Amino acid sequence: MQLFPVILPTLCLFLHLLGGGSGSTPSLTHSSQQVAVTRWLPATATWYGSPEGDGSSGGACGYGSLVDVKPFKARVGAVSPILFKGGEGCGACYKVRCLDKTICSKRAVTIIVTDQSPSGPSAKANHTHFDLSGAAFGHMAIPGHNGVIRNRGLLNIRYGRTACKYKGKNIAFHVNAGSTDYWLSLLIEYEDGEGDIGSMHIRQAGSKEWISMKHIWGANWCIVEGPLKGPFSVKLTTLSNNKTLSAADVIPSNWVPKATYTSRLNFSPVL
């Protein structure tokens, strides 16, 4: 599901009014649930797009054309609601492997959550399902069986949470189209470690106050305040373990919509 940029300011304003405006406290409260490393759990998997393709062209997380290039390329996956978490699961990384020894390799494939899928073959809301790119699905096969495994269509798999690792990349903030001095929307990119975001705050030039941003959809956050004065510092808190990182003055005073501003830091690439 893609939302058009023209809808975002309206949605952000609605969330702003619903939450009673911006404040110095987080807009959402999350439990500090620890992430289990290499804990393999049951799920199902299908694939979509072209057989050797990248799957989604954009996706419900809002990453747009990033899914067509490395490091996302061929590693994207849509997940059912239990993992998508209303968009707050965007950016999380998982290892997936299939079970049929006649066609499945022992190695696991790492995928990045970029999209939402239905709950798969089960009507249960808590069923875990992965809809992978054709390339990622094929990589679960033993050599020479990529086509065979894709012909199966639906597979029983095991999955486990893993740390995201974007070698040579730091966290970046894309300013969404339509942003103004009174409505600012940001998309988070290349977050190492847990990959998910539970809260996001912004600090204006000359201020000591961190103002809470609202989660709109996918990996997009916004603030209705104004006039906003840059440069802006941004503070991220992960959804899974409440780890915090602050990027000082990462968005310059002369920022423009559709531009991406890269920080000088990232989370540790571990869970």
Kindly list the averaged pLDDT for each block of 10 residues, start to end, along the chain of length 271.
49 59 39 55 91 72 78 81 93 95 93 86 77 92 94 95 94 96 95 95 96 94 93 96 96 97 95 82
Give residue 35's pLDDT.
46
Give residue 173's pLDDT.
97
Q: Domain 41-161 has what CATH class? A: mainly beta
The residue type at 104: C
Domain boundaries, the chain: 41-161, 172-262
Give residue 48's pLDDT.
87
Give residue 94's pLDDT.
96
Give residue 239's pLDDT.
93
Domains 41-161 and 172-262 share a fold: no
Give residue 14's pLDDT.
54
Cα Rg for the chain, rounded, in angstroms? 19
Closest CA to 45 of 145, 148, 144, 122: 122
Q: Cis bond leading into 71, ω under 30°?
A: yes
Dist CA 159 CA 189 (whole Å): 23
The two structure tokens encoding residue 90: 């965007």
Q: Is the dihedral of CA 117, 57, 89, 215 positive or negative?
A: negative
Q: Domain 172-262 has what CATH class? A: mainly beta
Entry pTM: 0.84
Helix (H, G, I), strand (E, B) or coil at 220: strand
- CB 98, CB 156: distance < 8 Å: yes
180-225 pLDDT, tens digit per residue, is 999 999 999 999 999 999 999 999 999 999 999 999 989 999 999 8
Give residue 56's pLDDT.
62
